[in-house]
Amino acid sequence: MTINVDLPPQIEQAYRAEAQARGLSLDEMVREILIARHPIDELLMDAKEFFANKGLSELAKTQGVRPLDNPSVLLGGWPDDENIDEFLEHTYKERSASLV
């Protein structure tokens, strides 16, 4: 990526002097400043892996996912005093309203 920034001459000169003192080009120093200010998310660094053509076994290994040992841990989760039909009706109504 290329970024062009117009700086007042005195600021550009100050950055050039600092870069030279550090043995860097102006571009290298500005790049260091930007990266230090906004560290790149580790997940974004490996974003290309998201689109890699991996099989399920390899994908599970990469993500550290293991088979479910005890399916009963998935049971429950809906309170007895809540009406599921009212919840679904409300959910569908809200989704439809957000599409308009």
How distant, in Å, are the alpha carbons of 68, 75, 82 from that of 78?
A: 21, 9, 7
Confidence of residue 86 (pLDDT cuts 50, 70, 90): very high
> Average pLDDT for residues 9-29, to the nearest whole number?
91
Return the percentage of the chain with pLDDT > 70, whole number.
88
CB-side neighbour CA atoms (13 Å) of 65: 9
What is the model's pLDDT at position 85?
92
Is 61 in contact with 69 (CB distance < 8 Å)?
A: no
The pTM of this model reads 0.38
What is the model's pLDDT at position 77?
77
How much is the mean pLDDT over the chain? 84
Q: State the Cα–Cα distance between residues 7 and 13, nearest whole angstrom.
A: 9
Domain boundaries, the chain: 9-63
CA 81 to chain centre: 38
Which phi and psi angles does 30 have, rounded to 5°? -60, -40
Whether the predicted pLDDT of 47 surpasses 80: no
